[in-house]
Amino acid sequence: MALIHKRRAEEDIYLIDSFPAKACDKIRISQTRLYRAAGGPDEDFRGYVASKKRYFFGVKIHLLVTAEGNPVEAFLAPGGRHDARALKQFEFDLLEGALVIGDKAYNDYEFEDLLSAAAEIDLRPLRR
What is the average pLDDT across 44-54? 86
Give CA–CA dist 20/48, Å, rounded: 9
Which pLDDT does position 62 carry in this prediction?
93
The pTM for the full model equals 0.78
What is the average pLDDT across 86-104? 86
Q: What is the CATH number of the domain that holds 47?
A: 3.30.420
- Count of structural domains, the chain: 1
pLDDT above 60 (res 38): no
Give CA–CA dist 56/14, Å, rounded: 28
Higher pLDDT, 71 or 9: 71
What is the average pLDDT across 35-59? 77
Residues 6+ apart with CB under 8 A from 107: 84, 125, 127
Q: What is the domain range of residue 23?
A: 2-125
Give CA–CA dist 61/20, Å, rounded: 6
